Amino acid sequence: MMNVGYMRETTPLLSASMRADEDRYYMGQDKMSLLNTPESGLSTVEAARRLKQFGPNELDNKDKSPLTKLFCQFRTSTAILLWVAIGVEILMADVPDTAALLFLQVIQGIVGWLEALKAENAVAALKASLKPEAQVIRDGVHQTINAALLVPGDRVTLSAGCAVPADCDLCDGNPILVDQAMFTGETFPTIFAAGDTVKMGTLVTQGDVEAIVSATGSQTFLGKVLPSMPATYKQEDGLFRPMLLQITIIFSVVAMIFVSLCLGCLLYHGHATLDAIGFSVLLFLASVPLSSSQVVSSSLALGSRQLAEEKILVTHITAIERLASLSLLLCDKTGSLTRNKMELQDDLPIYAPGTSREDVLVMAALASKWKEPPKDAIDTLVLNAIDLRPLDSYTLVSHRPLDSKRTESTIKRPNGATFKVTKGAPHVILGLTQNGDSIREAVESKVLELAKRGVRSIAVARTEDHGWIFMGLLTFVDPPRHDTKRTLELLHEHGVVVKMITGDHQAIAVETCRQLHLGPVVLTPPNFIEHPEFLEAADGFAQMDPASKVKVVQLAQADGYVCGITGHTETAPLRQASVGIAIDGATDAAKAAADVVLTKAGLSVFI
């Protein structure tokens, strides 16, 4: 994480330098006219022209030069020992031994340098394969493109779960919540409204809005800060290196005792002091595992390439060490244990008189951004279930993902009249609607019945003259993957405890655990928070929000587990875990927060 105090001290200076550079960046063009992009976005031709003018949306690499890295190889603790030995041999005027030690020093440094470069290049190649994407409007069409191709003036869509791909000025619309922890150190998201600028690299945690790209690449706030920022990023230690250090210390202490005895004997028997010291130093060097660090680095680099062939990408080398030591895996149900391919069921309970199945599906589609690519599995199913052409007569006035449990849209009819539609968790929609009290018992009974069969339900409502009306329930099923049960058995054989963790209803979680033979004990947040001792006995966790998932990870780590967690949208649990695992299809934000990224569906890639 960035040093917050440093940021506060340097931000005014950076802001002044940014203002000074702005004229050079826009090359004399008027910034307001350059960023005054119509709702249809830039044309493909104009975007290509600006890409040539401003360059790709990529940050300058702040890494040390290869020569600097080579020089660093001669300042390690191992190298210092060799320098001491070389110094002794020089004092003794022993040319052959001095030359031999110098040759060993050079070879050791070059080998260590080459292995370090191999390891860094392997991780860099894996990171390059995780190309961040951006939702952009060009030629009036919503497109998904490589974020490196964004240019100033591009109109982009920012939604919950995405990483902000460049510095962007928010357009008119509802406020969004943005996680700026990388800049401010604050754990709570910040509210941004129309006209505000969100910075490249921050994460949208809630909301959905269009924005205009105002700066790209090295001209963004992050690009300006990065070159002058001290190296204060958190570097998590692997598990092998501390163990290797302990072994090296033990060998060194034993060698030191033995060499001291040998030196005493040599001096006692009248050998020349310099000769005795030179022999003792060489004996000490021969007794200490000098190349162990290079061997580990080389092995981990090779491991990263082998994992990549198995569709497992590691974002940094030490993640392999922790992955090998994993003792507890918290598996997100959707996408990890199940197929993450929802199937819309024919069972669609209706609770509003005169409403048909088609009416409920149309209102559910209107509660989505039906003219844009769907952003989740449920929207995909709904939009594919009906003919969208009749919806062209409606106009989307506004769309708000109010929270993770409900979305709401304001719709204009062809005659100009407006109404609202919403879809979300049944218990949330029941509390919103006028007819909720009269149908509550029937709805809750149906939801529980469906959940016991592993069927998920989403409620749909719309406004009429006197308020919200609960229309009906959409029902979905996300069956377990065919290979999940065997994968869980193999993980257990390898000593990894597996527990399911999901935001779904407890009854759905219990049924999924039953199908996968995980066990019947599924806890919800009040249970394990009030009684953390229940954690060990739990087979799974249900109705979990991100904060609750983080709490489970913390409790597991406090119990001594090397804890991993899988996920596809939420970043906080992935950061907290010893090994954060972003599953196939995860958001860019989740991939950025993870230690490991799976590029193949399911967990079978681990085995």
Backbone angles phi, psi at 566, to 5 degrees: -100, 155
Class of residue 57 by CB neighbours under 10 A (exposed 0-12, middle 13-18, buried 19+): buried
Query: Are the C-beta atoms of 288 and 248 separated by less than 8 Å?
Result: yes
- How far is it, in rounded angstroms, from Cα 170 to Cα 576? 30
- How far is it, in rounded angstroms, from Cα 604 to Cα 485? 10
- How far is it, in rounded angstroms, from Cα 559 to Cα 412? 55
**3-state secondary structure labels for all residues of 239-260:** CHHHHHHHHHHHHHHHHHHHHH
Strand, helix or coil for residue 301: helix
Q: What is the CA radius of gyration of the chain?
A: 30
Sign of CA dihedral 565, 569, 570, 571: positive
For the sheet containing 176-179, what is the strand order?
A: 190-192, 176-179, 203-206
Class of residue 522 by CB neighbours under 10 A (exposed 0-12, middle 13-18, buried 19+): buried
Stretch (H or E) spanning 291:
none
- How far is it, in rounded angstroms, from Cα 58 to Cα 215? 11
- How far is it, in rounded angstroms, from Cα 120 to Cα 316? 8
**3-state secondary structure labels for all residues of 440-483:** HHHHHHHHHHHHHCCEEEEEEEEEECCEEEEEEEEEEECCECCC
- How far is it, in rounded angstroms, from Cα 524 to Cα 528? 7
What's the residue count for the chain?
A: 607
Of 97, 179, 208, 332, catalytic: 332
Residue type, 430: L
Q: Name the DSSP class of 73.
A: G
Strand partners, 17: none
597: CB partners within 8 A, 6+ apart: 130, 312, 313, 315, 581, 582, 586, 591
Task: Strands of 199-353 (E only): list them.
Answer: 203-206, 208-215, 312-314, 328-332, 343-344
Q: Name the DSSP class of 172.
A: S
Task: Strands of 446-605 (E only): list them.
Answer: 455-464, 467-477, 497-501, 522-523, 540-541, 563-567, 579-582, 596-598
Strand, helix or coil for residue 606: helix
Q: How many CA atoms lie within 13 A of 586 on its CB side?
A: 32
332 is catalytic: yes
Query: Are the C-beta atoms of 603 and 489 separated by less than 8 Å?
Result: no
Catalytic residues: 332
